[in-house]
Structure 1
Amino acid sequence: MAVLVLDRRKRPLMPCSERRARVLLARGRARIHRIVPFTIRLVDRLQEDSTLQPLRLQADPGSKGTGLALVREQETVDEVTGAMIRTIVVVMLLEIAHRGQTLHEVLTQRRAFRRRRRGNLRHRPDRFDNRTRPEGWLAPSLQHRVDTTASWVDRLCRWAPVTSLSQELVRFDTQQMQDPEIAGVMYQQGTLAGYEVREYLLEKWGRKCVYCGQEGVPIEIDHIHPKSRGGSDRVSNLTLACHDCNQAKGNSPLEQFLAKQPEVLRRIQAQAKTPLKDAAAVNSTRWALVQRLKATGLEVEVASGGRTKWNRHRLHLPKTHSLDAACVGHVDAIHCWQQPVLTIKATGRGSYQRTRLTRHGFPRGYLTRNKSAFGFQTGDLVRAFVTSGKKAGRYLGRVAIRASGSFNIQTATGLVQGIPHRFCTLIQRADGYGYALTQRAFDIGEAGTGAAYAAALSLPGLNPRVSRVIG
């Protein structure tokens, strides 16, 4: 995984390899600027004295997560056809795990508590007339996805010399799927024909046969209401079936085929009429994210999800958010994609809630009003070395503070409670995110986070105990 590099004035330079970063730190030419993503700052170099290559940051927005890929482009001319071949070299892969569902649940619970207090305890008339929504308003759970993605795009643009952006603008074109005869859709023609519909059905029906539930077998598209009996090609009339179930059903009506399985029949009929919830979330935020990216002043390239899937299948890449991001837009070849993926989990910066609540919405206990204790905040990445007692050992992870000074540390193996604050050493301040580095050979959990990343690189300048924590 590449190491981000800054000059003396904290301006971005070209990322370097892990080996090069170790050499620079060992010779005293660089300082550690940030643990995760691991970033170093050169003390003897300015941006004007360096040669920068253009980097592109590609994004694949999703409902539950967003993939990011920092790539370097290489354009060559085919000697035979004379066509321009665009090859990308992957520099860094990242995946953002959103917490939109958590926000939705919290707001729903708060709304229920307020409604009960207003209706059962004291009367207050509704105040809907003075509530207005500005143009482009999004629900908090959706706005969070836009803000988080835009925030990390801005961060990476500050840490790397990014000159252009790419985004998967639309994953599923629901209008085109409902009306296949619609004109003017470029990706409906040629090699991309049908990719939108197939990917939509795979997501909606769980990538398995809806009749027998088999997974990992070849899946075919089946018409719920047979086409020979007047069924249409609309996506609401399509489902997935294995070859045996598809042949057994034939042109029989669904009610006749599932006469002995009424529960399966009801489930299919209900799910066929329900649109894909994730697709609605992505379609609601796509244009807002495009506008945020254009506001950066960089060139923004947009592409459809059908093109992304076609690129991934053609290049024989596995299905991940980060690799989907690398396949956005025009890609002819891809190199160096087999590398660790940095997973960024949005955890938030705390809560405004000052009390614990009962199931009826009444306070049952008060929380501390100070967000810091003994120089630590909840979410900080810390290293603890306990020399004696039942908790003796070395621990590395995210800390949860207490006013008493007895902290909890979330490590890779679980939660460790009752660690005195005097044994804790700060590694990196909390920034509202939890980090995990996933690699084919090993998997560092979320509690490993930034220091584990640095320890995996065996970088000098850190306490040697850290490398032994990872083992």
Structure 2
Amino acid sequence: MAVLVLDKRKRPLMPCSEKRARLLLESGRARVHRMVPFTIRLVDRLQAESVLQPLRLKLHPGSKTTGMALVREKETVDATTGEILRTFTVLMLLELKHRGHAIRDALTQRRAFRRRRRGNLRYRPARFDNRTKPEGWLAPSLQHRVDTMLAWVNRLMRLAPVTALSQELVRFDTQALQNPEIAGSEYQQGTLAGYEVREYLLEKWGRECAYCGAKNTPLEIDHIHPRSKGGSNRVSNLTIACRDCNQAKGNMPLEQFLAKAPERVRKILAQAKAPLKDAAAVNSTRWALFQRLKATGLDVEVASGGRTKWNRHQMSIPKAHCLDAACVGCVDAIQNWQQPVLGIKATGRGSYQRTRLTKHGFPRGYLTRSKSVFGFQTGDLVKAIVTTGKKTGTYLGRVAIRASGSFNLQTGNGLVQGIHHRFCALIQRADGYGYLWTKIALDRGDAGLGQATPAALSLPGMNAGVSRAN
């Protein structure tokens, strides 16, 4: 994984390799600027004295996890065809986990508490009728996703000379879905023929056979009302089925094929007419993010999810959020994608609420007035070297403080309780995120590729740094 580099005035330079960063630190030409993501600052060079190459930050937004990839872009001309080929070298892979569900649950709980206090204790007139929502308003759980993604875009722009952005704007090309008149061998012809339709149907039907419920098996597109009997090619008449069911059904009507399962017939017909779940919320989030990205002043490239999947299959790259980000847009080749992934989990910066409540919303206990204990705050990244006791060893993770001085440490291998503060050394102050280094699993089939292994990787530099829309 590349190491981010700043000049002596904290302006971004081209990232370097871990070996070169280690040599710069040992020779005294650089200092550790930030531990996560690992960044060094040169003490003898300015940005004007360096040669910068075009870097592109790619985003693959998701409802729970957003993949990000920082890549170096290079364009070459094919000698035979004269076409411009775009090759990307991956410098850094990141996966950002959102906390929208936690925000939603907290607001739901607060609303219930207020309703009970208003209705059971004393009457207070409701104030929500006096409040108006501004244009472009998003629910707090959705606005959090936009703000968090933009915060990391701005952070990486400060740490690396990013010159362009790429975003998967929509999951499906709705224009291609309006009239997908594709049949027979045409499903395998053309550059993106059928990919938008296939990906849409896979998401809509839960990636399982609509007739028998089979999973983890090759699925084929089938017409609910057979074409030979007047059925259309629109997505409302398409479903996915395993090969056995598809051949057994043939040109039989759905009611005849599933005569012994009328409940499944009703479910299939209802699901065929229903739109994709949460599509409106996801699309509104992505459009809001697109507008915010355009405001950065950089060139913003947008693409659909169908093209992302096609790029990934063409280059035989496993499924993962961060690798989907690397495949966004026009891509001809991707290099150096087999590297560790920096997992980022949005944890928040705590709460102003210093009172613990019962399930009915009444006080049951109070937290300490000070959020700092023995120089540590909850969320700080610390390294604990325990020399005595049952927990002897070295631990690295996010700390949760107690007034007694006995802390809990959330490490990559799990929670470690009862670490005394005198064994802890501060690595990086809390910034509202938890970090974990993982690897992408490469030993599974397409259905399971991209699963991150739970083992955490060592922090680079730990030993050296502890004491196109304009």
Decide which of 452, 458, 464 is 1:460's aligned counterpart. Answer: 464
Superposed displacement of residue 145, structure 1? 1.0
Native 8 Å contact 1:171 1:282 kept in 2 = no
Deviation at 1:141, TM superposition (A): 1.1
* Cα distance in 2 for residues equivalent to 1:101 and 1:200: 24
**Which residue of structure 2 lines up, in the alignment, with residue 294 of structure 1?**
294
Aligned length: 451
What's 1:184 paired with?
none
TM-aligned CA distance change 1:245 to 1:121, over 3 Å: farther
Gaps of 5+ in 1: 182-188, 464-471
Shift of 1:153: 0.7
Checking the alignment, whether the CA contact within 8 Å between 2:3 and 2:40 is kept in structure 1 is yes
Alignment correspondent of 1:468: none
**CA deviations over 1:276-327 (Å, ceiling 9, x no partner):** 3353332111221111111111111222222222222222211222122112
Q: Deviation digits for residues 247-273 of structure 1, max 9, x if unmatched?
A: 223344444444444564555455444
1:206: how far off? 2.5
Over residues 225-244 of structure 1, what are the superposed CA-to-partner deviations in whole Å (9 max), with x where a residue is unaligned? 44445544343433221011
Q: 1:272 to 1:459 in 2, by over 3 A?
A: farther
Q: Does 1:407 align with 2:413?
A: no
Aligned-residue offset at 1:27: 0.8
Partner deviation per Cα, 1:378-408 (whole Å, 9 max, x = no partner): 1111122223233333322111111222211
User: Residue by residue, what CA displacement relative to the aligned partner does 1:189-228 show, whole Å, maximum 9, x if unpaired?
Assistant: 9522322221122123232223333222210122334444
Number of the residue aligned with 1:213 = 213
Whole-angstrom distance in 2 between the partners of 1:420 and 1:378:
14
- How far did residue 25 of structure 1 move? 0.8
8 Å contact from structure 2 (residues 173, 306) kept in 1: no
Larger mean CA deviation between 418-427 and 157-166 belongs to: 418-427
In structure 1, the residue matched to 2:32 is: 32
- Separation in 2, partners of 1:17, 1:382: 25
Change (3 A) 1:251 1:77: same
Using the alignment, how far apart are the partners of 1:109 and 1:259 within structure 2?
A: 46
Q: Secondary structure at the match of 1:391?
A: coil
Q: CA deviation at 1:120?
A: 2.7
AA in 2 matched with 1:223: H
Partner Cα separation in structure 2 for residue 419 and residue 444 of structure 1 = 26
The residue that corresponds to 2:276 in the other structure is: 276
> Structure 1's 217 and 76: CA in aligned 2 closer, same or farther, altered over 3 A?
same
1:75: which partner in 2?
Answer: 75
Q: Secondary structure at the match of 2:144?
A: helix
Percent same amino acid at aligned positions? 76
| Equivalent residues of 2:176, 2:196 under 8 A apart | no
- Please state how far the C-alpha of 1:18 moved relative to its aligned partner: 0.7
Q: Could you tell me which amino acid in structure 1 is paired with residue 388 of structure 2? A: S
Q: Deviations over 1:106-142 (max 9, x none)?
A: 2222222322322233222222332111111111111
Would the aligned equivalents of 2:407 and 2:420 in 1 still touch at CA under 8 Å? Answer: yes
More displaced, 201-210 or 95-104? 201-210
**2:106 & 2:179 partners in 1: Cα distance?**
38
Question: Cα distance, 1:77 vs. partner?
Answer: 1.3
Aligned AA (1:109)? Q
Identify the range of structure 1 (272-281 vs 347-356) with the bigger mean alpha-carbon deviation: 272-281
Partner of 1:375: 375
Q: Which residue of 1 aligns with 2:344?
A: 344
Which residues in structure 2 correspond to 1:8-157 (within 5 Å)?
8-157=8-157
Q: Distance in 1 between matches of 2:216 and 2:459?
A: 34
Say if 1:46 and 1:459 are closer, same or farther in 2 by CA, change over 3 A.
Answer: farther
Alpha-carbon distance in structure 2 between the residues aligned to 1:204 and 1:33? 46
CA RMSD after TM alignment: 2.5
Distance (Å, rounded) in 1 between the aligned partners of 2:368 and 2:267? 48
Task: Give the distance between the partners of 1:370 and 1:142, measured in 2 at CA.
Answer: 31
Quote the offset at 1:40 in angstroms: 0.6
Matching of residues 241-320 of structure 1 within 5 Å:
241-261=241-261, 264-265=264-265, 267-320=267-320
Q: 1:269 to 1:422 in 2, by over 3 A?
A: farther
Verify the 8 A CA contact 2:220 2:240 in the aligned structure 1.
yes
Give the structure-2-normalised TM-score: 0.89
Q: What amino acid is aligned across from residue 246 of structure 2 in structure 1?
A: N
Q: Residues 436 and 444 of structure 1 are in contact (CA less than 8 Å); yes or no, is this contact kept in structure 2?
A: no
Paired with 1:199 and 1:34, the residues of 2 have a C-alpha distance of: 40
- Once the two structures are overlaid, the 10-residue window that deviates more, 59-68 or 118-127, is 118-127
Once the two structures are TM-superposed, the CA of residue 163 in structure 1 deviates from its matched residue by 0.9
Whether contact under 8 Å (2:7, 2:41) holds in the other structure is yes
Instruction: Return 5+ residue gaps in structure 2 as ranges.
Output: 182-188, 443-451
Deviation >6 Å, runs of 4+: 441-444
* 1: CA distance, partners of 2:346 / 2:234: 37
Deviation at 1:431? 0.8
Map Cα deviations across residues 77-99 of structure 1 (whole Å, 9 max, x no partner).
Answer: 11112221111111111111111
> Is 1:394 the equivalent of 2:398?
no
1:163 counterpart residue number: 163
In 2, Cα distance between equivalents of 1:253 and 1:366 = 65
Q: Distance in 1 between matches of 2:267 and 2:106?
A: 29
Kindly state the Cα deviation for residue 458 of structure 1 after the two structures are TM-superposed.
Answer: 6.6
Equivalent position of 1:426 in the other structure: 426
Pair 1:83–1:389, CA change in 2 (3 A):
closer
Q: Is the 8 A contact 1:436 1:445 kept in 2?
A: no
Which is further off, 264-273 or 278-287? 264-273
Q: Which amino acid aligns with 1:277?
A: K
Letter in 1 for 2:248: A
The DSSP-based 3-state class of the residue aligned with 2:437 is strand
Distance change in 2, residues 1:461/1:106 (3 Å): closer
Give the equivalent residue in structure 1 for 2:445.
Answer: none
Q: Is the 8 A contact 1:22 1:459 kept in 2?
A: no
> Does the 8 Å contact 1:31/1:41 carry over to 2?
yes
Q: Residues 321 and 211 of structure 1: is their aligned pair in 2 closer, same or farther, counting only changes over 3 Å? A: same
Structure 1, 167-176 or 49-58: larger mean CA deviation: 167-176
Q: What is the CA–CA distance in structure 1 between the aligned matches of 2:45 and 2:401, rounded to whole Å?
A: 40
Is the CA contact (8 Å cut-off) linking 2:180 and 2:197 kept in structure 1? Answer: no
For residues 392 and 201 of structure 1, the distance between their equivalents in structure 2, rounded to whole angstroms, comes to 53
Alignment-mate amino acid for residue 35 of structure 1: M
